[in-house]
Structures are given as structure tokens and as C-alpha cells.
Amino acid sequence: MNALSGVGVGSGIAAAKMLKMPDPLAPPSDEPLAADVESEHQRVQQALQLVADELNARAAAVGGEAQQVLEAAALMAQDPAILDDVRSRLESGSNAERATWDAYGSFRDMLTAMGGYMAERATDLEDVAQRVVARLRGVSAPGVPQSDEPFILIARDLAPADTATLDLEKTLALVTEDGGPTSHTAILARSKSLPAVVGVVGILGAASDGQLAVVDAKAGTVVLDPDAEAVATAGAEREVRLAAASAPITDGALADGTKVPLMANVGSAKDAPGAVELGAEGVGLFRTEFLFLGASSAPSIEEQTKAYTEVLQAFPGKKVVVRVLDAGADKPLAFLNDAHEENPALGLRGIRALRASEQVLRDQLTALAAAQAATDAELHVMAPMIADHEEAAYFVALGKELGLTSVGAMAEVPSIAVLADQVFEAADFVSIGTNDLTQYTMAADRQLGTVARFQDPWHPAVLRLVKLIGDAGARAGKSVGVCGEAAADPALAVVLVGLGATSLSMSASAIADVRAELLTVTLDEAKERAARALTANSAAEAREAAAG
Ligand code: PEP
Ligand code: MG
């Protein structure tokens, strides 16, 4: 047994054979054509046909949006203009691989020059070219491997295009050499509830196709050639997880009946029905900036009222926590701040950017108040990146002036934890954004793979800050939510409750696992686990200590 570690994403465990995603092909050589043009042209024609058939077959199997992407790619493989171009290149002395590669290359350059939608298709063309050349070369095609057996996918990282063709029925876990907890792979793993370990340095060299492995997202490990006992344990844990996913939907609670509402993080009204179906008891974080990423001017009050009303209507009588626009760093909004900053994560962002454009903030609060009046949902509004009492008091006063009833602060900047007592004097509630709280506590950019191992909310420094907020919330008799990704990790969710979180909000797909885990502990047990994690020396030790 040989174990490699990285950053575990989400939860779950899987034992299966590994399949590696092949690296992109090396460009073909410039060797002149050694065979006759006619037979080489036929060989290319056959390769194109096989690739088109394969893409069409996969399109029919996957359905939905991915089907259209794959069918379009199949059409690209069958384009007669490509075959004509290949012929003239063969006639000029290029070998078959080079002729095909260059024919697609010039087609791709043409699309890129057209810009817009056509330019976006250039990447798909690149993928088709790689597949055809792989056929001619007799090697595995790049891209997501296909298998009739369940497998663990090993890749350098996954691009959005790869995820469209990933067969989720067969993919039991994802492991990447690069990437951090906010990479595309991590987002996919969370949204599909797949166990994943990212940033596993050395996995591409160590793993081979068909080799058995156990991927444990909770521990952040990939065990190669596991023994029979490890495989059996993984199988049993997987069964428990599957059972949790199909267990009846109940409100979030601990084993002793302590209520812990489980809410969903959403980015638009279209996320709402899915969240309700998965048992979300409300919305713990509505990221309103997702509606306006890419907008060049501030949205109108009417436009915003409509968008907020749609989300609130999906949760009659339920709590919906809306975050006002969180501009900056990973979520740029040009109309709030388009100045170049050396360190945007430490720049004019969150509440600071809104304060600098107060009319935008006033308009948003006005739209929220209108949506509150038009629906039966229980609206709570919070501001991102509040650093102290003064900022909290400013935001709460403005929210109340504009007609809102419950106005709070997000805890993402470590100073707010240190000053939690003061902040609760102003704010009606606090919701902890563990993604940014971890980034700022550990001084590790949440988007940077090289520092991914520091981006771990299990770190006792982060947990101690959560406890400061939890304790202050309890003293003030106010609610303390957690809406960062940490809430989606079932073992950590228990610890967060033990530290004083009164509700948890996460991607709706994570709710079933968290619900099942909470039901296994009493509040006293959650507090004991939290106490053990707080005294650990590292994130890894905190995980182990909490597990007991
Ligand atoms: C967070 O920082 O934890 C959070 C919930 O906000 P976002 O991920 O949108 O920055
Ligand atoms: Mg944040």
C-alpha cells in the first residue's frame, strides 16, 4: 500500500480501478510522406469516420447539453472541407498525421479570427484533431477516458469541456495532480457529490491504468494497491453514504433533537427548485453578484426586484439569506470597481466597494425590501467582508432605513471574529464565510493551487475564530450561520455546530450527507469533537482528533 495525499473535497470514499486521462498529444513530426497519397487519404478518412461515430455514440448515451456539444464535434470530424485540405497537404508531401493536424489548425485559426461564439468552438476543434491524430497514431485518445466498469479518474486537472463528457454513472471519484479546493474539478465534485482529492503531487507518475486505489475525500488521501480490508471499509462507507442520499428528507437535527437548519447556497432562481427537492430548509446564502457578473452597468431596481422575488417565492414561509453584491478578486463586477489593484483580494471589495458606490447599495437594498414586501419568505440580508463594528453598524443602519427587518454581517475577515462581541451589538445575525475566512487567516489565495494545502478550514486557527464568533453569538442570543464550503463537509459540519453554528448552508447536493452525519451525534458530543479539534496542531490533526 502506498498513500499519496492532497486536499480532500467534499466527502465520501471510493474503491475502484484507476483510469488516467491521457495528456494532450505531442504534435506530429515533419517527416515527409513515405506512403502513397491515396492510401494515406483513405486512412485519414477512416479515422475521421471512427471519431465521428464514437462522438455520436457518446452523444446519444449522455443526452442533455453534453449531447449537443458532442454532436457538434462529430460534425466537425466529418466536415468534407477538412478531407479536401488533408488531400492537398498530402499531395504537397506532408505525412498523414501532420496533414490532418495542420488542416484542423488552419480551420481553428479561421474560427478564432471570427471571434465570439465561433472562436469558442475552436477548442472543440482542437479536441477533434487530437482524437483523429490519436487514431492515426494508434494511441489512446486524449480527454476523459471511457469505461464499462466503474473507475476513479486520475487527471492533471479537468477543464469545463472535460466535465461535459464525464460519465457520472461510471466515475466514482476524481483525483487531480494540480488544482485546489476552488478548481473546476472541486466545484464539479461538490455539485455532483463525488469524492475527490485535488493537488495530489506525484499521482500522475505513481498511478497506472487498471491499478486499484481507495480515494478518501475526508482524509484527503489516495491509497494505491489497498489491502482487502481497506477496500471492504471503503465499500461499507459508500453504502452508508448511498443510504443517506436515499434516506427520507427530514429537517436538520442532532441525535438529541437539537435543530440545525440545513439551507442551500444559490446563485439564481433556477437553483431554487433543485434545492427544495433536496430538502433545503431555506437559503443560507444567495450570491446576488452571480446574477450580474459580466454586466457593464449596475442593474436597475426593477431588474433586481424581479430576480430576488423569484428566489424568495420558491421558499414561502422559509428563511432566505441574501448577500448584497460581493465584488472583487474572484468575483469581479466592473461597475463597482474596475481599477487595477496589485492585490485585489485585499482591495476595494465587498462592503468597501459598495460603500464607495453607495447608490448601487441603496438600489439593491431598495429592491430587496420590495421583494420582501411582495413575498412570504423570511428575508435576511447580509453584507460581505465586514471587518468591524463600524462597518456592521453602517450597513445595518442603511438596511433598516430602506425597510429591511433583519440585517447582518458575513464573517470572512479575521478581525470580525476577534471583535465578535462588538459586531453582534450592531448586527442582527452573523454568517461565517469559511472560504474567505480561511484564505485571510492562512494568507493563502483561495484560487492558487500551489497554496491549496493552506486553504483548509479544518485548520485550528480557523476553528478558533469560528468559536470566538459562536461564543459571542450565544452570549448575544443571535444566530450564527456557516455558509462557506466547510459546512458541506459532514465531519466538519459537526465540529462547526460544536463551535456554536446554529445553521449550516451549502450546495444543495451536500445536504443529505450532512443531515445523516448530524443525526449521529448529540450536542455534547459535537462540542467534545470541536474541543479536540481546537487543540490540534494542524488541519490534518484536527480532522483526526475530531474523528476520535
Ligand atoms: C465564503 O467566503 O466562504 C463565502 C461563502 O463567500 P464566497 O465563496 O462567495 O466568497
Ligand atoms: Mg466570501
- CATH number for the domain spanning 425: value is 3.20.20.60
pLDDT of res. 270: 87
The verdict on whether 340 is a catalytic residue reads no
Atom of ligand 1 nearest to the CA of 285: 5
pLDDT of res. 233: 92
The verdict on whether 184 is a catalytic residue reads yes
Looking at 245, 279, 310, the residue that finishes a domain is: 245
- Residues 6+ positions from 10 with CB-CB distance below 8 Å: 189, 190, 193, 194, 195, 196, 217, 488, 489, 510
pLDDT of res. 184: 63
Within a domain: 501? yes
Reported as a pLDDT band with limits 50, 70 and 90, residue 185 is confident
| The pLDDT of residue 398 is above 90 | yes
Same domain, 268 and 399: yes
Within a domain: 339? yes
Residue-number span of the structural domain to which 226 is assigned: 2-22+144-245
- Lowest mean pLDDT across 109-113, 218-222, 506-510: 109-113
How many C-alpha atoms does 424 have within 13 Å on its Cβ side?
20
pLDDT digits 0-9 by tens, 38-85: 999 999 999 999 999 988 887 777 666 567 777 877 888 888 888 999
Buried b (16+ CB within 10 A) or exposed e, 198-228: bbbeebbebbeeeebbbbbbbbbbbbbebee
Structural domain count of the chain: 3
261 vs 295: which has the higher pLDDT: 261
Alpha carbon of 412 to ligand 2 centroid (Å): 6
| The pLDDT of residue 182 is above 80 | no
Decide whether any atom of ligand 1 lies within 6 Å of the 97 Cβ: no
Same domain, 119 and 210: no
Alpha carbon of 363 to ligand 2 centroid (Å): 22
Same domain, 113 and 153: no
Question: Domain with 90 in it: what CATH number?
Answer: 1.10.274.10
pLDDT of res. 107: 86
Within a domain: 28? no
Same domain, 77 and 131: yes
pLDDT of res. 505: 97
Same domain, 483 and 444: yes
pLDDT of res. 148: 86
pLDDT of res. 290: 84
Within a domain: 419? yes
Looking at 104, 137, 170, the residue that finishes a domain is: 137
pLDDT of res. 251: 95
Atom of ligand 1 nearest to the CA of 289: 9
Within a domain: 329? yes
Q: Which of 286, 385, 412 for mutating ligand 1's site (highest number of atoms within 8 Å of CB)?
A: 412
Decide whether any atom of ligand 1 lies within 6 Å of the 434 Cβ: yes
pLDDT of res. 464: 98
Query: Which of 380, 389, 459, 483 does the annotation list as catalytic?
Result: 483
Instruction: Please state, in angstroms and rounded to a whole number, the distance separating the CA atoms of residues 530 and 517.
Output: 15
Looking at 82, 104, 137, the residue that finishes a domain is: 137
Decide whether any atom of ligand 1 lies within 6 Å of the 507 Cβ: no
Residue 344: all three cell numbers together: 485585489
- Residues 6+ positions from 198 with CB-CB distance below 8 Å: 6, 7, 9, 157, 174, 175, 176, 178, 179, 180, 181, 183, 185, 186, 449, 452
Mean pLDDT confidence for 366-381: 97
pLDDT of res. 352: 96
Decide whether any atom of ligand 1 lies within 6 Å of the 436 Cβ: yes
Reported as a pLDDT band with limits 50, 70 and 90, residue 540 is confident
Within a domain: 32? no
Nearest CA to ligand 1 atom 8: 435
Alpha carbon of 434 to ligand 1 centroid (Å): 7
Report the number of secondary-structure helices (H) and strands (E) in the chain: 22, 16
Decide whether any atom of ligand 1 lies within 6 Å of the 285 Cβ: yes
pLDDT of res. 367: 98
Within a domain: 50? yes
- Lowest mean pLDDT across 21-25, 202-206, 319-323: 21-25
Decide whether any atom of ligand 1 lies within 6 Å of the 287 Cβ: yes
| The pLDDT of residue 526 is above 80 | yes
Atom of ligand 1 nearest to the CA of 433: 3
Instruction: Please state, in angstroms and rounded to a whole number, the distance separating the CA atoms of residues 70 and 471.
Output: 53
Instruction: Please state, in angstroms and rounded to a whole number, the distance separating the CA atoms of residues 412 and 486.
Output: 13
Reported as a pLDDT band with limits 50, 70 and 90, residue 147 is confident
Same domain, 73 and 157: no
The dihedral built from the CA positions of residue 318, 324, 329 and 332, taken in this order, carries a sign that is positive
398 vs 243: which has the higher pLDDT: 398
Instruction: Please state, in angstroms and rounded to a whole number, the distance separating the CA atoms of residues 307 and 309.
Output: 6
Report the mean per-residue pLDDT for the chain.
90
pLDDT digits 0-9 by tens, 409-447: 999 999 999 999 999 999 999 999 999 999 999 999 887
Same domain, 356 and 302: yes
β partners of residue 320: 283, 379
Ligand positioned closest to the Cα atom of 481: 1
Alpha carbon of 238 to ligand 2 centroid (Å): 31
Decide whether any atom of ligand 1 lies within 6 Å of the 433 Cβ: yes
Alpha carbon of 432 to ligand 1 centroid (Å): 9
Decide whether any atom of ligand 1 lies within 6 Å of the 181 Cβ: no
| The pLDDT of residue 272 is above 70 | yes
Alpha carbon of 535 to ligand 1 centroid (Å): 26
Same domain, 9 and 101: no
Nearest CA to ligand 1 atom 3: 433
Mean pLDDT confidence for 513-524: 94
Decide whether any atom of ligand 1 lies within 6 Å of the 487 Cβ: no
Same domain, 277 and 165: no
pLDDT of res. 463: 98
Percent of the chain at pLDDT above 90? 62
Whole-Å CA distances, 101 to 51, 80, 95, 134: 14, 15, 10, 11
pLDDT digits 0-9 by tens, 313-365: 999 999 999 999 998 877 788 888 888 888 989 999 999 999 999 999 999 99
β partners of residue 176: 155
Mean pLDDT confidence for 475-480: 98
Instruction: Please state, in angstroms and rounded to a whole number, the distance separating the CA atoms of residues 463 and 118.
Output: 48
Same domain, 132 and 198: no
Decide whether any atom of ligand 1 lies within 6 Å of the 337 Cβ: no
Question: Domain with 199 in it: what CATH number?
Answer: 3.50.30.10
Most confident of the ranges 11-15, 95-99, 140-144: 95-99
Decide whether any atom of ligand 1 lies within 6 Å of the 162 Cβ: no
Same domain, 129 and 148: no
Nearest CA to ligand 1 atom 4: 433
pLDDT of res. 287: 93
Reported as a pLDDT band with limits 50, 70 and 90, residue 94 is very high
Within a domain: 241? yes
Atom of ligand 1 nearest to the CA of 486: 3
Nearest CA-CA partner of 223 in 215, 211, 232: 215
pLDDT of res. 85: 93
What 3-state class would DSSP assign to 174? strand
Reported as a pLDDT band with limits 50, 70 and 90, residue 387 is very high
Mean pLDDT confidence for 198-208: 93
Same domain, 345 and 217: no
Query: Which of 41, 184, 389, 459 does the annotation list as catalytic?
Result: 184
This prediction's pTM: 0.73
Q: Which of 271, 283, 287, 439 for mutating ligand 1's site (highest number of atoms within 8 Å of CB)?
A: 287
